Every structure is written in structure tokens, then in C-alpha cells.
Amino acid sequence: MDEFSAHEPLISNGGFKDLQSKNKPFKLVLVKWLLKSLMWLIFVLWVAVIFFLPSNIVRGLFLIFIQASSQHSFFGITGSVFLLFSVPILILVFLAFIYISVFPSDDFEGRNSKPPRFRLWTFPIIVDGPFGVVSAAEFIGILLFSAYVLYNIIDDSIQNQELIAREFSVTGKERSYLMIELTGLRLGSIGLFCMAFLFLPIARGSVLLRMIDIPFEHATRYHVWLGHLTMALFTLHGLCYVIAWALEGRLIEKILEWKDDEIANLPGVISLLAGLLMWVTSLHPVRKNYFELFFYTHQLYVVFIVFLAMHVGDFIFCMAAGAVFLFILDRFLRFCQSRTTVDIISAACRPCGTIELVFSKPSNLRYNALSFVFLQVRELSWLQWHPFSVSSSPLDGRYHISILIKVLGEWTAKLRDIVSANSDQLQIKKITASVEGPYGHESPYHLMYENLILVAGGIGISPFLAILSDIINRINERRPCLPKNVLIVWAVKKSKELSLISAVNAQSIHSSFSDKLQLDIQAYVTQESVPPLEEGKLHDISSISSFSVINGRNMSCLVGTGNNMWSGMYVVVSTLGLVAIYSLLRVYYIKPFHVSTRWYLGLLFVLMMVAAVTILGGIVVLLWHWAEKRNLKHDESVKIGNEKIDLSLSSDAKVHSKTEGSNLVKLLATRYGCRPDFQEIFNSFSDRVGHVDVGVIVCGPPSLQSTVAKECRSQNIKGKWNHPVFHFNSHSFDL
């Protein structure tokens, strides 16, 4: 292993050495282009089949394929449907592992060498409304999904009328009842195809999200949008049948119906009720005010999936089984990682109402400055998990990672009380935590632009402290680092929050720092009109109450965004295991005993997916765990022999270092009783940098994101030839 490889702030196994090679071999470029083209081709064909399936041509070809493959295939009609609708996604996953392993990330220096231009992912189109800030690429996706649903509904309505006229000799009321039921059937099939996309963005360590560099906190928005659409379709699907059955006078009879050779109605009712409960509690007012209710009811997804499979049967469920299988893979790996308890090795309560926690981690657990983790504290709850941005740079230390937590609710208040109580006692009681992650951008977004504007609201400064520390460390260590001009705009309610700037390790800043990085930090205190009398003590960290725990247990490396070799092997073995288990069941159970009950086969298929992941995939995870334990023993020997690698950046160390952060305090320009005027700020920045790409990252409440996005859009639409192109990106969780 290379000497500096453990310091590289990449989630993937690759490093910046791969990115520095400007003259890549032609064969490597060709392979990269062919691999990416193949993945796009598979994805477009898969989407096209789903989109145009209602048309007569595609439906005819689909029926011919199903008939031919089911007659000559060992796996029957279930295997044919799985091959057509689920296998393409699994193939994309296999190719994505190859892609990110061979090409760890794009050349960020090469990106910057291109002339300034708009990008679909970073150009905000909609800045207000139910969807929040929507980029051009997201807007295109919304239009495509809307077109898909409308096209299917209209086409299905026409086909339903033709089908009734051709196949059924009914008139009057019976024709109306049949039309309602057929409409419900079509809406259910559309919802099932939407569900094929619903589970893709919710897999936190998804290799597909890593390949296109969409972090999980962005992908959750797509899951929310798709969830609303899917549940609306399923609700209309059930409502159509309820209305038809009620008009026919058979409502209770049909709801309780559970047939073996046809669609089982009662499992569908149970699945729909579970989905409705999840849907209602996930609405923003409920989620915001009753988060625990939302969290606990969302665990009903198990009931939703299992009874849905029993409702439609195995071969219809296979239309969405690929995405569900990938979610099960991710969920099991997260479960294995979260079983490892991590002692919080250092904790501190800052005067501004913020808690800083430092965890011990293995040196090969990689992350970047825009990563985040999910935290569970066993002393507070065994079920609750909360996301927090990482506040330390990977270059701050090989064996630790830190986060900042703002005390806002009951859970964080209890955590503050525990930390404060421990800091006042001689006998320290350990705080036992479990950590999932880190997750986030596959490539360090903040290193892709020479010019950066970082806009933070309150505790939203946390990831930017990691970015700032990362840039400073890279400059001092002469590592590749594009940012040369960084503007931080920070809005806080009270001036005491400004003490968070001391969380940045600025001891290593030397006199030549200003020659390599133009750093401007503008702070706006909105609820104080004049500086407080104790302004000189705002950045004093001597009043921090803290404690330390020696020999903290490390975080687990069993994370989907970790070792590509083990992650890929886990997915491949689990997938092949699913095929093997299904083959054995068909040979020794389904065919010999003539099992044909649809609801039972649907349940059996879900159990096979779970068994493939937990048994065969679990063997890979166990071997992965043993391999990481060997690496951990090596880490411990290195730590003992090399005392300079320690927790010098932990809260406890910062308490005894009053000079730390002093250079950054001098750069802090504070304004009281006002909010940032982003038009003036962006105009001033534009005049200074000229026609270049400017990366804008916002971390704060939705109102702040909308305001900055609106200004980015306004500046870009102006289209002045000598003004920069602003690329909007947000870094905020809204679960």
C-alpha cells in the first residue's frame, strides 16, 4: 500500500494518483467509453421496454418472448419476467462495480480545464414549490415520469374499451363495473413499474448512485417523489376495485377473498393498508413534527413488500424484484455494520449549544469532506438513527472522524445532558454508539472548482469546516487541490455560534497560505443588532466541557461504499445464490410437488431473496469482517509504534490549545442585525473572478437553499460573457 493511501479522502479504493495522469492511454479511454456506452444502452432499453409496454407492438413482442422463453426455459415464466425486467438492473450493478474499480473517479483537474458551461445537474430550474429546488436534470426526470404515467393511463383506457367490446358481451352497469376494474388493474401495473424505481435511490451504499455521483441525501428526495407517485397509483388501484365491488354488492366477500390460482385480494388489502400508513406518516407536516412516528411506521415496508408479493404472485412481482433485491443487499450490509459498537473516544459540549463527538476508525475506512454518517447512541435509543455531516477532513487524522451535533430536539438534548454529566465526573461512563457509513459524494465535489462559494445556515457550517480543513491540509502538504478562491457566507442567529470556527485545525497555516488560497469568511448574526460586550471571548474555547475515553473501539468497514472488491463479491455471490436457490427449489420442490399456488410462490420468492443475501452473501460478509480484523491488528501495531498519529484534533485536545483557529478568526468578517444580500455577494464575486466555473454549495434550511438557488439561476440567466457560471449544489438532509 502506498505511503499516503490511507489519507486519501475518497470513498472508493482509488486515489488521486490515478487522477493526476493527464495523458491516459488510448486503450484505457476507449474501454471507459465503451463501458459507459454499454451501461447507457442497457438502461435506455430497459426504460424503453417499461415505457412502451402498453403499446400494441411492444406488448405483442413481450407476449411472444414470454411464451417462447417459458416453454423452453428451465425457469419458466417467472424466470422470463425476471430476465426482462430485473436482470438489466443487476447487470448495470455488475458493470458499475467494474467501472468504479477501473476508473475510481473523474479527473477533477481535467474538468476544470474545460471552458465554463451549464450542467443539467447543477442548473436550478424550479426554486420554490412542493419539489423544493429542482435542477434541469431532475426536471427532465419529472417530465418523463409524468409523461409515462399519462401515456399509460390514456393508452390503457383506450385498450380497455376495445377489450370490453371485443371479448365481453356485457352492457349497461356490468360494462361500467368491468371498466372500473380494468382501470384499477392498469393503475396497479403502472404502480408496480414505478416501484421498480422506488427502491433504487434508498439504498445508501448503492453502486449505481456512486457511479453517477449522486449522494444519498439527494437520492432520498427521489425516493420521496417516487413514493408519493407509487402510493397514489396503488391507492387508486385499490379504490377502483372497492368502488366496483361495492356497486356489485360484493365488497366484503371480495376483500376477504384469498384464492390460490388467481390474484389473492386479502394480501393486497394488507399491503395497501401498510403502504397507506407509511405514506400518511411520511407527509412533511407529520414527518417534521412527529419524526419518531414516521420512523417507526416506515418499518412496515417489510409487510408492504411481503404481502404485495403474495398478492400478485411470483412472476408479476419479478417486474420490481431487481430493485427490491438491491435494497435487501444494502439493508443486510448496513445491519452487519451497525452491529459493531463504537465507543465515543472524545466528546465536548460547546457554549453555543453544539456537541462534538470523535470516533475511532480504521485507517482504511475512507471518506471525503462532504460525507455523512448515521448515528445511534445505545444509552438513548436502540432503534433511532440520525444523520450527521462529518466535520473533520480525512487529512486531519488516519484513525478518527468527528461530527458536530446541534441541540435541537429531545434526542440531542439527552445526548448533551449525558456529555455534560460525564465531563463533571471523575469516573467516566462510556457512551456506546453504532455508526453506519460514511456515505456521500463518490468524488470530492469541493475539489473540482478553483472558485467556491459555501453558504451555511447555523450548524450547516459543519461540512464546510471539513472542506476548509481539507483544502488547508492539501495546500500545506502540497497535494492536488484546485480551490484557489473560497468565499464562505455563514448566517447564524446568535453570535455565540461563531465559536464553531475553532473546530478547524488551523495550527498548520503558515505565512504563505494567502498566496495559495484567497479565503473570505463573511458571518451574519441575524438576531443581534450590535456586538455583545464579550465579543472578544466569542471564539474562546476554554469554556468547553469535554471528556475522553481511551481505547475506543473502531467503526466497522463493512459499508457498501467501502472496499470495492468485497462489495462487488458480496453482490455477485448473493445474486448467483438467488439463481442457485431458485433452481434447486424448482428441481426438488416446485416441480415434483406441482406447487402452483400464486400467493405461496410470491412469498417463496421473497424468502429466496432474503436467504440468498443472508446465507450466501453473509458468508462473504463474514470473510470480509475477518479480513478487516487482520487489517485492524496491523493498524494497532502501527499506532503503537508511531505516536504522532493520535487524536490531536479531538475535542479534548482542542480545549488545551487556545491558539488553534486564531488565523481563521482574523479572517472572519462579522455583520450584525442583517441577512446576507446574495445578489450583492454574487455580483461582487463575479466581478472579482470573471468568466469561470463557480461551485456553490449550500447547507442549511430549505428557505436558504431556495434563496441561493434563485440567485444562481438569476446570475446564470443574465448570460453576461464576462460573468461566471454558478453551479448549485445542496448538502442538507430533509428526512
Give the rounded percent of residues in the chain with a pLDDT score beyond 90: 33
Helices (H) and strands (E) in the chain, counts: 27, 15
What does R_g of the chain's alpha carbons equal in angstroms? Answer: 28
* pLDDT of the residue at 416: 85
* pLDDT of the residue at 664: 65
| pLDDT tens digits for range 595-642 | 889 999 999 999 999 999 999 999 999 999 998 888 777 666 555 444
For residue 135 the three cell numbers come to: 435542477
d(CA 236, CA 239): 5
8 A C-beta contact, residue 528 and residue 497: no
* pLDDT of the residue at 322: 93
The H or E element that residue 354 is part of is: strand 354-360
8 A C-beta contact, residue 501 and residue 539: yes
**pLDDT confidence of 15, banded at 50, 70, 90?**
very low
The stretch 75-101 carries a mean pLDDT of: 91
Mean pLDDT of the chain: 82
Which residue from 641, 16, 638 is spatially nearest to 363, judged by alpha carbons? 638
| pLDDT tens digits for range 448-500 | 888 999 999 988 888 898 888 888 888 888 887 888 899 999 998 888 888 88
pTM: 0.87
pLDDT over threshold 70, residue 344: yes
* pLDDT of the residue at 632: 73
Phi-psi region of 337 (alpha: psi -120 to 50; beta: other; left: phi over 0): alpha
Alpha-carbon distances of 198 from 72, 214, 508, rounded to whole Å = 32, 15, 47
Residue 390 is given by DSSP the state: B
pLDDT over threshold 80, residue 168: no
d(CA 306, CA 264): 13
